[in-house]
Amino acid sequence: MSVNNVSSISTENLNTIKAKAAEITSSSGGSIWNDYKNFDLNGDGSISDDIENMSDADLYRMGQQMGILSDGTVQATKQSEETGNCYLLSGVNALSNTTWGKEAIQNAIEPTEDGGYNVTFYNSDGEKETVNISAEELAANPEKYSSGDVDMKIIEVAAEKFYSAHLDEDAYSYKDKNTPLTEGLMEGKTSILYMLTGSEGHVLQSTELDKRIHESALASDRGALTDETLQQELLEIASNPDGYAATCAFKKPGFFQKLFGGGDTVSAHGYSIKEVIQSPDGGIQSVIVQNPWDSSKEIVMSYKDFKSQVAYFVTHNQNDTF
């Protein structure tokens, strides 16, 4: 991926970068100023009077740092209140916690000369398929997509177009044709993890499958979620944190109840696993999860609390990728 293709910067993005940069001063706050003070060319504590003297390359680099232009790295994001696509955001966040996942994201996104992007996904046949999104499509309906980082939004917009093009296929038949981005799986060939890496995932679940969901939408590698199987998966992640991208859902009613029947229902909300902490005795001490509502905030759960609440656990192994 060419993330420094300055010629692909659109006038709209350029104006947005300049407007945001003009607001940054040494009084903006320590962390913000420290991030951008290197752009203060004359050292007067403000960037606004330096903007016109900046090269396009510097402005492009600033736009990437601000999350306005793609740099192939997903920073902290917040899920839209309008669209229920936590499955996708959690999947991307899980990937971005690994080296190979970051590479997959970078390889999937390519800037175009007109300010848009080409995004390459794997379809359910395992073939690469490229989706083009224009700068206009990316700028439209901001309330519908996540905020905080353009790379996440690029993936969302492209995935929506991709899903719309495949809704007549069995694997995607569970999706609502009017809102294909809302509601989805964190496993199988319709998951964003598969679309970006080719990994269907290994699933542990505490419920039985709902026969209404076509089998082609589900990962074939699945097992019962028990204390033993969960601990084994978590220990593998703890011993090789860069090798796994993991997501989960907890015990509450919601969309996944449509997918999985039986005793405990599964929450409609998906989370990504940020880190698994081992205890001194070699067991599991805690699990750190990220909520796509605000992925900058980490939630530390004791192992006891985590295992008592989790009902659906999906791991994607680097070794299973294309």
Break the chain into its structural domains and give their ranges: 6-66, 86-320
Contact between residue 313 and residue 248 where contact means Cβ atoms under 8 Å apart: yes
pLDDT for res 209? 64
Please list the residues that pair with 316 across neighbouring strands: 245
pLDDT for res 186? 95
- CA–CA distance, 189 with 216 (Å, rounded to integer): 7
For residue 260, report the phi and psi dihedrals to the nearest 5 degrees: -130, 125
pLDDT for res 6? 65
pLDDT for res 277? 97
pLDDT for res 115? 80
Q: Give me the tens of pLDDT residue by residue for the chain, a chain 322 residues long.
A: 455 566 667 777 788 888 888 888 998 877 789 888 888 888 999 988 888 888 888 888 888 888 788 888 898 999 999 999 999 999 999 999 999 999 999 999 998 888 889 999 999 999 999 999 998 999 899 999 999 999 999 999 999 999 999 999 999 999 999 999 998 999 999 999 999 999 999 999 987 666 678 999 999 999 999 999 999 999 999 999 999 999 999 986 544 445 554 455 667 799 999 999 999 999 999 999 999 999 999 999 999 999 999 999 999 999 988 7
* CA-based nearest residue to 150, from 61, 100, 75: 75
Cβ-proximal residues to 125 (8 Å cutoff; 6+ apart), any chain: none
* CA-based nearest residue to 200, from 221, 175, 183, 172: 221
pLDDT for res 253? 55
Contact between residue 260 and residue 208 where contact means Cβ atoms under 8 Å apart: yes
pLDDT for res 249? 93
Extract the tokens encoding 28: 């903006």
Contact between residue 77 and residue 152 where contact means Cβ atoms under 8 Å apart: yes
For residue 29, report the phi and psi dihedrals to the nearest 5 degrees: 130, 140
For residue 154, report the phi and psi dihedrals to the nearest 5 degrees: -60, -45
- CA–CA distance, 151 with 168 (Å, rounded to integer): 28
Count CB neighbours of 299 within 10 A: 12
Contact between residue 201 and residue 245 where contact means Cβ atoms under 8 Å apart: no
Helix 99-108 to helix 86-96 angle (10° resolution) is 120
pLDDT for res 31? 79
For residue 305, report the phi and psi dihedrals to the nearest 5 degrees: -70, -40
DSSP 210: P
Please list the residues that pair with 131 across neighbouring strands: 119
pLDDT for res 7? 60
pLDDT for res 259? 52
